[in-house]
Amino acid sequence: MKFSINWLREFVGLPKNPEETADLLTRAGVETENIETRGSKIDNVIVSQITASSRHPNADRLTVCEVDDGSGTKRQIVCGAKNYKVGDKVALALPGAKLPNGLEIRKSKLRGVESEGMLCSPIELGLGEDASGLLILSPEAKIGVPISDLFPSDTILDVEITPNRGDLLSHFGLAREIAALTRKKLKSMPPESKVPIRKTGVTITSTRECPFFSLRRIDQVTVGPSPQWLRAKIESVGIRSISNIVDISNFVMLELGQPTHAFDADKLKGAINVRFARDGEKFLALDGKTYSLKPDNCVVADEERAVGIGGVMGGEETGVTDSTKNILLEAAYFLPASIRHTARELNLPSDASYRFERGVDPGMIFRASARVTELIREIAGGTPAKEIQAAGKLPANPPDVSLSYEKCDRVVGVAIKPKTVDGILTGFGLSKSKRTSKSANWKIPGYRRDLQRDVDLIEEVVRAYGADKIPGTDRSRVMPSSAADRSHDIESTLRERLVAHGLSEVRTSKLIPRNAPAFSENAIVLQNPLSEDHVALRPSLLSGLLGVFERNLRAGAERVALFELGRVFAPPDVREERRAGFLVWGKRVSDPHWRAADQGRLDFFDLKGAVESVFPDKLSFQRSTHPSLSMAAEIYDNNQLIGIAGQLSTLSLKIDAPGGVFVAELSLDLPIKGLGSRATFREFGKFPAIIRDIAMIVSEELTHEKILKVIFHENPSWLERVEFFDQFVGEEAARRFGPKKKSLAYRLTYRDRSRTLTSEEVTAAHARIRERLQRELGAELRE
Amino acid sequence: MSHPLEQLREDALREIESESDEKSLDAVRVRYLGRNGSISAWGEKMKTLSAAERPVIGKLLNEVRNAVTAALDARSEEFRAQKESESLGRIDISLPGATGASGYSGYSEYSGFSTPLTGYSGFVPLERGSLHPLTQMLERSIEIFRRMGFALADGPDIEDEWHCFDALNTPPEHPARNEQDTFFLRDGRLLRTHTSTVQIRAMQAAPPPIRVIAPGAAYRRDELDATHSPQFHQIEGLYVDENVSVADLKGALEFFMRELFGPDTAVQFRPHFFPFTEPSLEVYVKSKALKGGEQWIEVAGSGVVHPAVFEQVNEARGDKAYDPEKWSGYAFGLGMDRLAMILFDIPDIRLFAQNDLRFLRQFA
C-alpha cells in the first residue's frame, strides 16, 4: 500500500528525512519497497482552463485547445489527450518550464500549428503514475495559480503489509505503529462517535459472515467533483477521483482502514437485509460486470435484489450518481474468511475486500461512519439522520494472552528485562491485566487480532527490541546420517564419475510443454497450467535432454554429451522415481588439438561406456525395440530391467542431426542400493603372466557375448583376463572373408596366483579354447 | 464415372504401396510427377479446358498431386527407417563400452556375460565434463550444513494440501494460503510450493531432537521471466531441540552465510511474517563479493517454528512428541537459484534450465 508522509505526519511526528521512517519500518518487518518524491520542482506550471477545442487540421490524434491562463490573452496549445472537456481546469506548463522528468517546454510548431506550452498528465508532473490523459484539476482551482500551491511536495512510501497486519492498511494504523516503534505519542485520535444507535431498519440473516451491519441516512447531498485537497490526497496514493461522495468514502478508508459504502437511498426498495445469495443470482457490480453468485456469498439486499456483495463491491444500479440526492452510508464488519472466499471465487478483489479479509478494527466502524458523515456535510452538504440504524453485534474483544518472561528469554535467546518487555507491549497498545514477577496477562486491543498466543507477543518484543541486538549463538548437535544422506552421496559420486567421463551435467525443468519431443507420452497433466511450456510432469528425463540437445545443436555445438540425475513422475500413478539420463552425439573431440587427430564420432559404445562407468560390472544390455529408437537395448541389473538405451530414430528428432544421437535412461532406485558397498583387497598376481592372442573370422551375427561364453567355458582358474581389442566388419571385410563374415581379435592373459605357469600347460589350455571356438562357433582361426 | 485423374491417383497409390525399395519408388515418382509424368501432363491439359471446367479440375489436380506426393514421402520415410534399423541391426551391442581414459576394468573373474573389458579410449581426456552451477551451489550449501551437524531429509514433489498448507498453520481462507499460485493435479494433489513440507514429514517420521536440511524442487504458478521460474530449488532447514532460540537461528545462518559468501559478509535479520514461524525473520546479506557490497540482498526466510505447527504434527502422529512447552525449533528456507545467481553473477534464471553448453562450460 502507498502511504503519504504528509498524511502520516497528521497523526505522528516523523523524522525530517523520510528515508529514516522507511528504514525504521523495514527493520521492524514492515518493508518499504519504494520511496518516491512527489510534487517538488514544478515551476512555471500553472492552473489553466480549456475554453475551446478543435481538431488539428493535419493530425487526427491531436486537438488544438484554446486555454485561459489568467493573463487576459488566450493561449493556443496543441494536445494529444482525450480525457478532457471544454471548461476543465488543467495543468499548463509554460514555455521555459522544466518538468520533473527532465522535459523542457518551448514554444513550438506541432504538425504546422503553433503550441504555446503544454498541458500535462500526472506522470509528467511527477504527481502519480497515470499517463493516460491530462491531470484534471478541481473546478474550484484558481486560474493562474502555480500548480505547486495545489500539490504540496510529498514523499510516498510503497509499503508491503504482511497478511497478518490488516491494522496497518491505513494512514492512522501505520502512524500508530510508528508511534509504538519510536515510543512517541500519537498527535490525534479519530474521535468516538456519539450518534445513537437503533436496532431497526436493517436485518442480518447471515449473522456468522456479517456479524454487524449499520446504515446512516444523509439527505439532500449535492454530488459533484471533489475539492482540490481531497482529490490531491487520494490521488497521491493511487486512488482515482470519482465524485465527492465516493472520494470521501475512499479517503476515510485510506485514513482509518474501515471501508464504507454509499447507496443512493432513492434507488433502494424497502428495508436492507444482509443474507446469502441465491444460487445463480445475478449481480451487476460497480465495475460494470455481471457476476453469478453462489449460496455461500454474502450479499447486502433490499426487498427485491442484491445491492452489494457484502464487503467486496457495491452494485451499479444503486450506486451514487450525479443525480443522487439522498444516501445511505454503510459501515459494517464481515468475517475475514468469508470475504476472502467470495472475492476469490468471483475473482473480484477490491480495496474493501483486501481490508476485510485481513480483519478490520471493530472499534473503528462508528468512528469511520462519523468521519464520512462529517466530511459529506462539509463538502457535499446534506442532513445526516440523528441515528444510525444497525443490526448484529460487534465481535468481542480478543482474549487475553499470558506471557512468561522466562519463556520470552528462552525463545529470543537473550535475557530482556521484564520492564523493557512491558514497555514494548504497552507501546503496541496492549495493557496488563494481571501480573506476577514471572508472567503477565495482556489485554489485546481490538485491532490486533493477530496476537493470539505468547509467541505472537514475543515476536512484537523482537520487532521493537531489534533483531540486531540479539547476538547469534553457535549451538550445534550432530545427527547420524540418514537414508537421504546415503543416496545423496551416491548420486554425488555418480555425478563425479560422469563428469570425469567427459559428460556435462544438465538440469532440465520437471515441468514439460504440451508438445514435448519424444519420451513424454502419458505424462501427467496439471489441472491449472499457466503457460503452454509448463503443462505436464516429466515421465522421463529424455524429453528434457532432447530439448537441450536441439537447443545446443542450433547454437552450433559439434559435440553434445550430457547427463542428468533427477526425479521423474512415472505414469499412471505418478510414482516419483530417481533416474539417470544420458545423451551423446557428435564428434569425440569438438575442437581441433595437436594431440587429437580426427577421433571420429561418438557412437553407441561411447554411450554404453558412460552408462557402465556409473555402475561398473553390474549391467548387461539386451536387444529390444522402442517406438522412438531405431536401435534399442534394454539394460539389466542382474535380471532386473532398469532402463533403456539406443539410437534415436531420425523421425523422433525435430532437427536434422548428422550422425546418430544416442540416449539412455535408467532407474537409480534399484541399482543404487548395491552401490556404495566398500571394495575389499584382492592379492594381485605376483607370478608372470603369459599372453596369447586369438584372431578369428566368424559369422557377422555372432556376438561378443557368445564368444566370451565359449572362451570361459573351459574356465581354467588361471585365465585372468580376456580383452577384445580389434574387429574388422563391413563390406570390405565381407569381400575379404566371404559374405556376412567379420574378423575379431581377443587377447587372453593367463596367470596363476600361486605359481609360475609353464608354457606347455598354457599352450594346451589355449588350444582347447581355440578348438572349442572352431567347433561350437564355426570360427575360422587366423594365425 | 470417375475422372481419369482419380484413376491416376488410384494407380499411383497402389504402385507406391507395392514397391519395395527406394530405387523403384523413385521410378514411380518420375512416372507420375516427373516433368513428363502422367499427373504433371495434366498441367498442360488445363489450358485446353473451358473456363467452367478449369477451377474444378484444377482443384482435383491439386488434390491428386498432394496425395501422391504425401504417399511417396511417407513410403520413402519408411524405407529410410527400415534401412536405418537394418544397418543398426548388424551392430553387436554386447561389445564392451568405451570406458574412458584408464582403459582397464580390473580382474575378470567371470561372473556373467557382460564383463567389461578394455576397449579403446572413447572420451579422450581433452574433453572435460562439468557440473551444473545449481548442483555446485547445492553441494556447497549441503557441505556447509553438514559441517554444522545437519543430516539430509527428503520428501515428495507431489504433495497433499495438508502437508503444504494446513500443517504449516495456513488453514483454508488464510490470506497467506495462495492457491492461485499453486499447481494442482487432477486428483486434487498439488506440487509443493515450498520445501517446508519436508519439515512436517521429518517430524512425522521421528521424535525430537531433529536437525535436518532438505534440498529439493518447489513449484509456483509464476510466469517465466528473468527472475521467476515455475520450478525452482530450495534448501529447507529444521532444528528442533530443547530451548532453541532466535539467537541460535541467527548464529546458524550467520555462520552459513559467511562460509558461503566470505568472512566479511554482513548478515541482517529483519522481522517478517510467515504463518509457520513466530517470530519470523527475513535474512539479508551484504558483502564486497556481491555487487560491490552496495546493497542488502534478501537470501532466506526463517523463524522460530510456530507452536501450531507442532500441534498439527502431534495430531498426525497421535502423540505428544512435539510438546510446544518442552521443545522449540527454528526453520529456514534458502532459494538455491537465487543464491547461485548472486554468487555466480548470473543475470537470468532461465539460463539454468536452458543448459546451453556455452553456459555450463563456464562453471566447469
Domain of residue A352, CATH code: 3.50.40.10
Same domain, A444 and A534: no
List, as ranges, residues 312-351 from B with C-beta within 8 Å of A.
Answer: 328
- How far CA B215 is from CA of A700, B140, B198, B218, in Å, comes to 51, 12, 9, 10
Question: Do A332 and A378 sit in the same domain of this protein?
Answer: yes
> How many Cα atoms are found within 13 Å in the side-chain-facing hemisphere of B181?
17
Compute the average pLDDT of residues B209-228. 94
B281 in contact with chain A, both atoms CB, cutoff 8 A: yes
| Residue A465: CATH number of its domain | 3.30.56.10
Residue with cell 552465510: B257
Buried b (16+ CB within 10 A) or exposed e, A578-616: bbbbbbbbbbbbbeeeeebeebebbbbbbbbbbbbbbbe
Distances (CA, A) of A346 to A283, A343, A351: 11, 5, 15
Chain B residues near residue A528 by CB distance under 8 angstroms: 183-184, 221
Asked whether residue A40 is domain-assigned, the answer is: no
In this structure, are residues A287 and A348 in contact, taking their beta carbons and an 8 Å threshold? yes
Is-contact A237 A156, C-beta < 8 A?
Answer: yes
Whether A475 maps to a domain, the answer reads no
CB-based contact A505 B129, cutoff 8 Å: yes
CB A720 within 8 A of CB B108: yes
Residue of B nearest to A341 (CA): B173
| Domain assignment present for A683 | no
CA-CA distance, A170 to A352, in Å (whole number)?
A: 12
Record: contact B246-A358, CB cut-off 8 A: no
Q: Over A230-260, what HEC string results?
A: HHHHHHHCCCCCCCHHHHHHHHHHHHHCCCE
End-to-end CA distance of chain A: 90
**Residue in A closest to B88 by C-alpha:** A631
* Residue span of the structural domain in which A20 resides: 2-32+157-182
A472 Cα to chain B: minimum distance (Å): 4
Residue in chain A lying closest to B231 (CA): A509
Is B27 an 8 Å CB contact of chain A? no
Residue whose C-alpha cell is 520533473: A100
CATH number at residue A694: 3.30.70.380
B126·A595 Cβ contact <8 A? yes
Cα-flanking dihedrals φ and ψ of residue A626, to 5°?
A: -155, 140
B166 interfacial to chain A (CB closer than 8 Å): no
Contacts of A723 in chain B (CB under 8 A): 117-118
Alpha carbon distance A338, A356 (integer Å): 9
Residue A680 lies in a domain: no
- From chain B, pick out residues whose CB is under 8 angstroms from the CB of A484: 151-154, 214
Task: Report the gap between the CA of B144 and the closest CA in chain A (Å).
Answer: 13
Based on the domain organization, do A21 and A169 belong to the same domain? yes
Whether chain A has a CB inside 8 Å of the CB on B199: the answer is no
Most A-contacting residue of B84, B85, B86, B93 (CB-CB within 10 A), to test interface: B93
Between the alpha carbon of residue A467 and those of residues B280, B281, B282, the distances in Å are 10, 8, 10
Q: How many helices (H) and strands (E) does chain A have?
A: 18, 41
The answer on A657 and A563 residing in a single domain is: yes
How far apart, in whole angstroms, are the C-alpha atoms of residue A392 and residue A59? Answer: 61
Does a structural domain hold residue A38?
Answer: no
- Using a CB-CB cut-off of 8 Å, the residues of chain A touching B95 are 605, 704, 724, 727
Burial of A153 (0-12, 13-18, 19+ CB in 10 A): middle
Best of B73, B75, B87, B95 to mutate (most A CBs within 10 Å, chain A) = B95
Q: Strand pairing partners for A524?
A: A537
**Contact check, Cβ <8 Å, A609/B97:** yes
The verdict on a CB contact (< 8 Å) between A576 and B156 is: yes
State how far residue B249 is from chain A, nearest Cα, in angstroms: 7
Confidence of residue B171 (pLDDT cuts 50, 70, 90): confident
- For an interface test with B, which of A505, A558, A569 has the most B Cβ atoms less than 10 Å from its Cβ? A505
User: What own/partner pairs with CB < 8 Å and gap ≥ 24 does A107-110 have?
Assistant: A110/A56, A110/A59, A110/A62, A110/A78
For A730, which residue in chain B has the nearest alpha carbon? Answer: B90
Integer-rounded Cα Rg, in Å, for chain A is 41
From CA B308, how far away is CA B319, in angstroms rounded? 15
What domain count does chain A have? Answer: 6
Q: Is B116 on the interface with A (CB under 8 A)?
A: yes
Helix (H) or strand (E) holding B116: none
Same domain? A268 vs A375? yes
Identify whether residues A525 and A631 lie together within a single domain: yes
CA angle A469-A475-A476, nearest 5°?
155
Q: Are A298 and A310 in contact (CB under 8 A)?
A: yes
Amino acid B362: pLDDT: 92
Q: What pLDDT is attached to residue B109?
A: 36
- Mutual orientation of helices A483-500 and A604-614 as an angle, nearest 10°? 150
Of the partner residues A455, A458, A479, the one whose CB lies closest to the CB of residue B150: A479
Residue type, A218: I
Q: Name every chain A residue with its beta carbon within 8 A of the beta carbon of B244.
A: 475
pLDDT confidence of residue B110: 34
Q: Cβ separation of A511 and B230 shorter than 8 Å? A: yes
Q: Which residue has the cell 509443493?
A: B192
The pLDDT value recorded for residue A505 is: 97
Examine the domain organization and report whether A539 and A584 are in the same domain: yes
Pair A257, A355 in one domain: yes
CB distance from B122 to chain A under 8 Å?
yes
State whether A455 and B279 contact (CB < 8 Å).
Answer: yes
Residues A665, A726 within the same domain:
no
- Would you call A459 and B271 a contact, using CB atoms and an 8 Å cutoff? yes
Cβ atoms of A45 and A94 closer than 8 Å: yes
DSSP state at residue A394: P
Contact A528 B94 (CB under 8 A): no
Q: Are residues A340 and A440 in the same domain?
A: no
The reply to whether A492 falls in a domain is: yes
Mean pLDDT (whole number) for B23-33: 86
The answer to whether residue B356 neighbours chain A at the CB level (below 8 Å) is yes
Cβ count near B7 (within 10 Å): 12
Chain A interface includes B246 (CB < 8 A) = yes
The answer to whether B119 faces chain A, any CB pair under 8 Å, is yes
Encode burial over B20-37: b for 16+ CB neighbours within 10 A, e otherwise. eeeeebeebbeebbeeeb
Min distance B22 CA to chain A CA atoms (Å): 17
Low-confidence ranges of chain A (pLDDT < 50): none
Reported as a pLDDT band with limits 50, 70 and 90, residue B18 is confident
Residues A346 and A288 in one domain: yes
CB A161 within 8 A of CB A252: no
Exposure string of A511-539, with b = 16+ CB inside 10 Å and e = fewer, is bbbeebbbbbeebbebeebbeeebbbbbb
Q: Is B70 on the interface with A (CB under 8 A)?
A: no
Residue of B nearest to A163 (CA): B175
Best to test chain B binding among A479, A481, A494, A532 (most B CBs inside 10 Å):
A479
Note whether A476 contacts B149, CB cutoff 8 Å.
yes
Whether A383 and A255 map to the same domain: the answer is yes
Q: Is B76 on the interface with A (CB under 8 A)?
A: no
Helix (H, G, I), strand (E, B) or coil at A293: coil
Q: Do B269 and A468 touch (CB under 8 A)?
A: yes
Pick from A408, A273, A271: nearest CA to B304: A408
- Top residue of B179, B357, B361 to mutate, by most chain A CBs within 10 Å, is B357
Residue of chain B whose Cα is closest to the Cα of A702: B92
Residue found by looking up cell 528428432 in the block? A653
Whether B263 contacts chain A with CB within 8 A? no
CATH of the domain at A583: 3.30.930.10
Quick one: pLDDT at residue B119? Answer: 36
With CB atoms and an 8 Å threshold, state whether B360 touches A709: no
Tens digit of pLDDT for each residue in A470-498? 999 988 899 999 999 998 998 998 999 89
Q: Which residue of B has its CA nearest to A508?
A: B353
Whats the size of chain A, residue-wise? Answer: 783
- Amino acid present at B263: P
Please give the grid coordinates belonging to residue A576.
516419483
Return the CATH number at A53.
2.40.50.140
Question: pLDDT tens across B72-81, in order?
Answer: 888 887 777 7
Predicted interface score ipTM higher than 0.90: no
pLDDT digits (tens, 9 = 90+) for B96-153: 887 643 333 333 333 333 333 333 344 444 577 899 999 999 999 999 999 999 999 9
A250 in any annotated domain: yes
Identify the CA nearest to B253 among candidates B272, B266, B234, B271: B266
* Residue of B77, B325, B250 lying closest to A475 (CA atoms): B250
Q: Which residues of A touch B185 (CB under 8 A)?
A: 524, 526-527, 574
Q: Is B290 on the interface with A (CB under 8 A)?
A: no
Residue A681 lies in a domain: no
